[in-house]
């Protein structure tokens, strides 16, 4: 009986409900869009993480300042020609091996050329070579490495090509290309671009193989997603941190290879200033204590560039790691 009374009471209450007691909620598409919108940006988050690293920020500012000054230096007042041989007006002889001073800020070399102008001119040349080779290595390494790791039919072919070319020392290829072709900036870049992208491609291939069979990639393939879209949207964002590191390290590596080729006499001609030429010239006179400045100054510039790229590359790779974006 008690249960029946409760049911009757509930039916009476329900009977009192009328249409006027309800009101349909209005749907505003723009408001719904604003509610579901997230202003999260992966690259903005990466930059925030990167800027927290004070050491990396110091080297970033140092590198930007160095590169900016390198390219504006020729247009500053009272700058000397890096190629011209300067003559002492009193003696009529070349200003050879003049120590750093008010007239020649970094001194002169063995034939009377201004080292201040030659070092900054050489830095521009070496930076151009490094950036050109580094960007090419990154482009080819990402393209070939992604296809190599994801498209299984291409794996045996590219692996065999890699094994053949990789077993030839890169220094031999650089030496042969520089020996057969006329020494110039374009020759140096071509020689480095021939095989410089192989280590990057191999590295990215290994990273792609690790993640290519994960659930989200299998789902994309089942839905018929094109290969290019799977690579660009699913795979590459997962390895962007290691890509950034490889790109950052490829630039100082290319500069170091230019220095090596010049050191063994197959680099740029002496008429084209470069850090390799300057370090090689300084090496010749480094046994004389009074002339060691000819080696010290270009070595400092080369070290600053190399260390800056190395620190920034590693720091940016850590900042771009998806695991740091929670």
Pick the more confident residue, 66 or 40: 66
The CATH architecture one would assign to domain 42-74+115-324 is Orthogonal Bundle (1.10)
| CA atoms within 13 A of residue 215's CA, in its CB half-sphere | 0
Contact 149, 211 (CB under 8 A): no
- pLDDT band at residue 66 under the 50/70/90 scheme: very high
For the chain, the structural domain boundaries read 42-74+115-324
124: pLDDT confidence band, cut at 50, 70 and 90? very high
pLDDT at 29: 63
21-30, 89-98, 148-157: which is most confident:
148-157
Asked if the model's pLDDT at residue 32 lies above 60, the reply is no
With 0-12 / 13-18 / 19 or more C-beta atoms within 10 angstroms meaning exposed / middle / buried, residue 40 is exposed
> CA-to-CA distance for 124 and 19, rounded, in angstroms?
80
User: How many residues are listed for the chain in this entry?
Assistant: 326
Q: What percent of the chain has pLDDT over 70?
A: 87
What is d(CA 317, CA 239) in angstroms, rounded to the nearest whole number? Answer: 10
- State the pLDDT at residue 22: 61
Per the CB < 8 A criterion, the answer to whether 323 and 144 are in contact is no
């Amino acid at each position: 009986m008690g249960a029946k009374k409760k049911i009757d009471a509930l039916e009476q209450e329900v009977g009192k409900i009328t249409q006027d007691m309800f009101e349909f909620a209005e749907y505003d598409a723009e408001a719904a869009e604003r509610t579901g919108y997230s202003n999260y940006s992966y690259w903005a988050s990466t930059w925030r993480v990167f800027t927290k690293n004070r050491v990396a920020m110091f080297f970033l500012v140092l590198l930007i300042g160095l590169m900016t000054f390198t390219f504006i230096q020729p247009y500053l007042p009272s700058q000397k020609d890096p190629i011209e041989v300067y003559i002492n007006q009193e003696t009529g002889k070349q200003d050879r091996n003049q120590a750093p001073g008010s007239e020649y800020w970094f001194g002169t070399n063995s034939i009377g050329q201004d080292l201040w102008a030659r070092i900054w001119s050489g830095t521009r040349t070496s930076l151009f070579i490094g950036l050109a080779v580094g960007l090419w290595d990154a482009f080819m390494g990402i393209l070939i490495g992604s296809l190599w790791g994801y498209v299984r039919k291409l794996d045996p072919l590219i692996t065999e090509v890699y094994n053949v070319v990789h077993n030839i020392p890169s220094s031999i290829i650089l030496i042969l290309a520089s020996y057969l072709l006329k020494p110039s900036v374009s020759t140096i870049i071509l020689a480095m671009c021939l095989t410089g992208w192989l280590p990057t491609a191999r590295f990215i291939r290994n990273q792609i193989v690790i993640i290519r069979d994960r659930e989200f990639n299998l789902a994309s393939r089942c839905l018929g997603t094109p290969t290019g879209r799977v690579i660009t949207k699913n795979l590459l964002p997962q390895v962007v941190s290691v890509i950034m590191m490889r790109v950052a390290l490829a630039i100082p590596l290319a500069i170091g290879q230019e220095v090596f080729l010049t050191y063994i006499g197959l680099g740029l001609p002496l008429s084209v200033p470069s850090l390799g030429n300057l370090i090689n010239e300084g090496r010749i006179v480094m046994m004389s204590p009074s002339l060691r400045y000819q080696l010290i100054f270009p070595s400092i510039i080369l070290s600053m560039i190399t260390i800056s790229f190395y620190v920034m590359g590693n720091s940016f790779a850590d900042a771009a790691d998806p695991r740091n974006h929670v």
